[in-house]
Amino acid sequence: MASMLGFGQGTTRGGASSARIAVYKVCWSSGCDDMDILAAFDDAIADGVDIISFSLGGKITADTHFSDALSIGAFHAMKNGILTVCAAGNSGPNHASVMNVAPWAISVAASTLDRKFVTQVKLGNNKFFEGTSLNNFDLKGELYPLIYSRDAPNKEAGFDGDSSRNCPINSLDEKLVKGKIVLCEGNEGAPEAFRVGAAGLLIQGIAYINVAYSFPLPACYLDTKDATKIRKYIHSKRTPTATIFKTNELRDTLAPEVPSFSGRGPNNVTLEILKPDLTAPGVDIIASWPPLSPISEFSGENRTLEFNIVSGTSMSCPHVSGAAGYIKSFHPTWSPAVIRSALMTTAKQMSPTYNQDAEFAYGAGQIDPVKAVNPGLVYDATEIDYISFLCGLGYSQSVLQLITEDVISCFGTVSARDLNYPSFALKAPHPKHHLSGSFKRTVTNVGLPMSIYRAIVTVPKGLTVSVNPSVLSFTSLGEKKTYVLTIEGKLKKSINSASLVWDDGNFQVRSPIIIFDERAEKGESTKLYCINFIYIVIFNLLFYIIIE
């Protein structure tokens, strides 16, 4: 059984239980150097791995395909039949914040589980408030004096009420705060509350609202509205009091949702290649933890465990790596592109109602590994296809050699729209103007030898999506059929979701379609979040999965 202080208790099991794991260290105290990353890719390829799981990422630039070590390493892995699975990054919800956008790799966003951690706060007036944290400290319902950080500045260190309200280090007067529960604004209060010996900590803000974190003292993260009510209570009483209860684990009926931190599209390197590709659980995940490391990042923390609860796309990425290994164990000859296609076209559709950035947040949707073993139809792509795609972007022979290491001549080119990808992304030239775009795709039959697939299109008002031909008839496994999908109309919103499903009565092969304009690039469609702080999980290890 695994748990973190009793939270998330259950039996651990790998995504691909027959897999062996090889680990290559690429990060050190000084950072993660490109030469170490590329050396790890070289070693992994030489060792004969099947899947590479890469929970790191860097800054995206226009020449990322040729300057980013991951993109170059993943290209060489693809040449050798190895799929690379990458984290989408934790810089959301900003638009165009997705990392690792190489079309020859999978980019994985994070999603919530059907559990959430809720911590209750009770005031001396018997009012209750709910927030989130991973609080295993038991105050046994005892009420402690409650103080607002702005009322306890460390004047000897030069702080006043304005500078102490966020509780930076040395900002609080120990004599006023020790033994009390302190309410801090912002996200930096835990080390200072711990330093001055506070009995507990209440944190005001919304940055952690999707995610529960551990603190070295009883703590609860509250939204701004509730924190404001508590602040008014403090100033209305001569002796305000409060207590913080142990965290409860509840069912999250809205899951899966994409948390605010998960990197969003569009893909600024190639706008009409949809990234991220799909989502997997990445919030409040039970993860192995080195016993020598404290369970929280705060100075003075001395609790150690074998398992911790961690959030980030570094958690969602290995979920997909395990699922890819699971598929590979059934289909050892499938190419990296086919495995990606199987995962994307069988993913569970997510709702833009609860994920306002739609496919830019979740790609094709939430992975369904069991269903992905038998996808029906797949979209394949080879090294030549990706080179033709790069040629179509206008790169020269000398630039192409930076990634391929081969002498390349661009005799045939493929536009981004015609790369044989399992999703569709169309950028409108201008808001509210008529748009038109076509995509050429080829599918391969891996389902039933004799089958007839019919195209089913779901599209919002104002747009039309046509598929030609709209019926694909197969007489054998491995047979290929080509079709053209055309989108026309006018956008009513900056982001519009549609979909294409090929259905033969046994298999439903779904591809997401996103149509957007320049407002989506600038993030004007989403005013939902206010980020004060982003907690980014960085891991020092690359994991490679070898299927026995």
Domain ranges of the chain: 1-114+258-375, 115-251, 420-525
Each residue of 6-55: pLDDT tens digit? 899 988 888 888 889 999 999 998 899 999 999 999 999 999 999 999 99
Percent of the chain with pLDDT over 70: 95
Closest C-alpha to 168, from 198, 190, 146, 136: 190
User: Is a pLDDT exceeding 80 seen at residue 90?
Assistant: yes
CA 506 to chain centre: 31
User: Is a pLDDT exceeding 90 seen at residue 429?
Assistant: no
Average pLDDT, the chain: 90
Residue 207: which pLDDT band, with cuts at 50, 70 and 90? low
The pTM is what?
A: 0.91
Give the pLDDT confidence score for residue 206 in this predicted structure. 66
> Do you find a cis peptide bond into 469, omega within 30 degrees of 0?
yes
Cβ 68 vs Cβ 107: under 8 Å:
no
Average pLDDT over residues 368-397: 93
Give the pLDDT confidence score for residue 525 in this predicted structure. 46
Each residue of 283-323: pLDDT tens digit? 999 999 988 888 887 777 888 889 999 999 999 999 999 99
Closest C-alpha to 120, from 258, 225, 220: 220
The full 3-state SS of 354-371, as one line of letters, equals: CCCCCHHHHCCCECCHHH
CATH of domain 420-525: 2.60.40.2310
User: Is a pLDDT exceeding 50 seen at residue 527?
Assistant: no
Q: Tell me which of 98-102, 494-498, 517-521 is least confident.
A: 517-521
User: Is a pLDDT exceeding 60 seen at residue 411?
Assistant: yes
Give the pLDDT confidence score for residue 169 in this predicted structure. 94
Domain 1-114+258-375 has CATH 3.40.50.11030: no
CA distances from 52 to 106, 341, 475 (A): 10, 17, 35
The full 3-state SS of 101-119, as one line of letters, equals: CCCCCEEEEEECCCEEEEE
Question: How many C-beta atoms surround the C-beta of residue 54 within 10 A?
Answer: 30
Give the pLDDT confidence score for residue 532 in this predicted structure. 29
**Angstrom distance (rounded) from CA 106 to CA 343:** 10
- Determine which helix (DSSP H) or strand (DSSP E) holds 360, and give its type and residue range: helix 359-362
Q: What are phi and psi of 458, to 5 degrees?
A: -115, 125
Average pLDDT over residues 503-524: 89
Place of tokens 């979209």: 379
Give the pLDDT confidence score for residue 363 in this predicted structure. 97
CA distances from 523 to 230, 291, 529 (A): 33, 41, 11
Give the pLDDT confidence score for residue 87 in this predicted structure. 96
CATH topology (fold) of 115-251: Glucose Oxidase; domain 1 (3.50.30)
Average pLDDT over residues 486-500: 92
Between 17 and 222, the more confident residue is 222
Give the pLDDT confidence score for residue 419 in this predicted structure. 96
Give the pLDDT confidence score for residue 208 in this predicted structure. 57
Give the pLDDT confidence score for residue 489 in this predicted structure. 93
Give the pLDDT confidence score for residue 433 in this predicted structure. 79
Cβ 323 vs Cβ 346: under 8 Å:
no
User: Is a pLDDT exceeding 90 seen at residue 60?
Assistant: no
Q: Hey, which residues does 418 pair with through a beta bridge?
A: none
Sheet holding 424-427, edge to edge: 424-427, 508-516, 495-503, 451-458, 471-474
Between 542 and 184, the more confident residue is 184
Between 276 and 523, the more confident residue is 276
Give the pLDDT confidence score for residue 526 in this predicted structure. 44
Token pair for 69: 């070590």
Each residue of 439-452: pLDDT tens digit? 999 999 999 999 99
**Angstrom distance (rounded) from CA 420 to CA 10:** 40
User: Is a pLDDT exceeding 60 seen at residue 544?
Assistant: no
Token pair for 536: 């980014």
- In the chain, what is the straight-line distance between the N-terminal and C-terminal CA atoms, in Å? 26
Give the pLDDT confidence score for residue 523 in this predicted structure. 65
Average pLDDT over residues 451-464: 96
Collapse the DSSP code of 70 into the 3-class scheme (helix H, G, I; strand E, B; otherwise coil) and give the result: helix
